[in-house]
Structure 1
Amino acid sequence: MPVFYLDIGIDMQVIILDTPEQVAEKSAQWVTEVIKQKPAAVLGLATGSTPISLYELLVEQYRHGDLSFADITTFNLDEYHNIAADNPQSYRSFMQKQLFDHVDIAPSRTYLPTCSSEQNPRLQGEAYEQKIKDKGGIDLQILGIGANGHIGFNEPTSSLSSRTRIKTLTKQTLTDNSRLFGQGEFQPTMAMTMGIATILEASYVLLMATGENKASAVKQMVTGPLNAMCPASALQLHQHAVILIDKAAASELTEQDYFLWADKEQQKVTDSHGLLTMC
């Protein structure tokens, strides 16, 4: 069965699946399809607990000889400000542990928006934007969503035209992420992040969300007004955005029946006109 049906020119796709495992499996199918159609694709990657199961499935496919990352380039959404790459809490360490160390990707092709205390955040952000442009732009951007609606570290009140820059994290984000830090361990309060405009320039966007704690943010993203207080609502502007969620994350959507029906109907168009075409 075809995985994609984005090229038929439809609105944001909301696909509701039964379990978090199914969200990961469907996401892995999409990433695999992109890589097989374009072996030198540029992928935008996310950290956090949600995409871990996706990365596990991609690693498994690589180990079975079904997937290669040899020509892939990656750009991560964000990185803590002034954190060493070898710090276990850095997103570089996260990506090495969850994906990079287990596949055949070249380290020189993996980028994160780093910034030390000695570096100018504005210049670092501009340099990151230029690197993305130099590589031809992001083909597929993977996203999670924060309980407050953030994507990357674009916290509420972020400009919808924002670019890679330094952001102060909200108290809610710090509280949500505090479980990842040990007692007495320093938790950064600032991070470098791709901007919302940067994310919207990706050819395709795939957002994963699971669990009841994301239900309110998902509702605001999909059916709420477009506004800076829910940065993820900017995805309403993207022609090729897919929202993969489990039933728990969809629990506050009053239009669930419509989304389930629309998914089946759109699949018929896919069957007639084929898969996503990567240039």
Structure 2
Amino acid sequence: MKLIKATDYKDMSKKAASIFAAQITLKPNCVLGLATGSTPLGTYAQLINWYNDGDLDFSQVKTVNLDEYVGLDGNNNQSYRYFMNDKLFNHVNIDKANTNVPNGKATDKQAECDRYEALIKALGGIDVQLLGIGNNGHIGFNEPNKYFDKGTHEVNLTESTITANARFFATMDEVPKTAISMGVQTIMQAKKIVLIANGPAKADIIYETCFGPITPDVPASALQLHPDVTVIVDEEAYATVAKKLGK
């Protein structure tokens, strides 16, 4: 596991984007694992800038997203399909048919989970997976648990995650309570993983992820077992980590 300190959010985003840009350049038909939330926005904006400059070609790229809320379709502006279209796909020359997000409106949730897992395998696996991290250590929507979740599955979101997501909805009642998410095992099967986090609020969980015990109480701690993980944090997050390490 490689821990990289960026100067600020912009620098963190650029460092992460450079890894994805290199993957696209080296393998134009690569499979990118993508994430939603506020943290990746700068990374996607940088990729769009490089595309507009003529430095990147997304025409052969395929993507799979980590998760989607149950009950929301792609036209809902709080769905993760809508987010990806709005923040990245609509601004580059990617074929939307090659972009994949779990179907939150599927009537048979288990069948959708099985379909998504099979899709990832059929694509040949994920070349680079982007991750954010929740304050409780969740990656995707893999919440703290008694065990590490394996394949793509339906998740009951914790109260802390529901509360954190409430700012995006008009009322608490509108916040989805379940989601379809890649499992920890699915994430761990990506060839390379890039985790990004910024701000002092993420410092403790980054320390636990990188240096704490490997435990399903901190789902992201499983990343310690992966052979190629890059964690990129800003100075605010790194300062607390460094202090705990005695640096």
User: Displacement, 1:177?
Assistant: 1.3
Q: Partners of 1:184 and 1:204 in 2: how far apart?
A: 36
Q: Which amino acid aligns with 2:82?
A: S
Q: Does 1:17 align with 2:6?
A: yes
Could you list the runs of 5+ residues in structure 2 that have no partner in the other structure?
none
The corresponding residue for 2:53 is 64
The corresponding residue for 2:219 is 231
Question: Where do residues 1-279 of structure 1 align in structure 2 (5 Å cutoff)?
Answer: 12-116=1-105, 119-157=107-145, 159-183=147-171, 186-253=174-241, 254-255=244-245, 257=247
Larger Rg: 1
Q: Which amino acid aligns with 2:37?
A: G
Q: TM-score, normalised by structure 2?
A: 0.96
The answer (yes or no) to whether the contact 2:9–2:234 under 8 Å persists in 1 is yes
Q: Which range moved further: 184-193 or 58-67?
A: 184-193
Distance verdict in 2 for CA 1:256–1:83, change over 3 Å: farther
Q: Which amino acid aligns with 1:121?
A: K
Q: Which amino acid aligns with 1:209?
A: A
Q: Partners of 1:180 and 1:68 in 2: how far apart?
A: 32
Q: Partners of 1:230 and 1:183 in 2: how far apart?
A: 29
User: Displacement, 1:182?
Assistant: 2.3
Q: Which amino acid aligns with 1:63?
A: N
Residue-pair matches, total: 245
Q: Which range moved further: 16-25 or 85-94?
A: 16-25
Q: Partners of 1:185 and 1:56 in 2: how far apart?
A: 32
The corresponding residue for 1:261 is none
The answer (yes or no) to whether the contact 2:166–2:172 under 8 Å persists in 1 is no
Q: Partners of 1:55 and 1:246 in 2: how far apart?
A: 17
Percent identical pairs in the alignment equals: 40
Question: For 1:135-191, what per-residue CA distance to the aligned partner results, in whole angstroms no more than 9, with x for missing partners?
Answer: 110000000000110000000106325110100111111111111122477110110
The answer (yes or no) to whether the contact 1:149–1:232 under 8 Å persists in 2 is yes
Root-mean-square deviation (CA), in Å? Answer: 1.3
User: Displacement, 1:256?
Assistant: 7.0
Q: Which amino acid aligns with 1:152?
A: G
Q: Which amino acid aligns with 1:36?
A: T
The answer (yes or no) to whether the contact 1:141–1:204 under 8 Å persists in 2 is yes
Question: For 1:163-220, what per-residue CA distance to the aligned partner results, in whole angstroms no more than 9, with x for missing partners?
Answer: 1010011111111111112247711011000000000000000000001111121111
User: Displacement, 1:247?
Assistant: 1.7
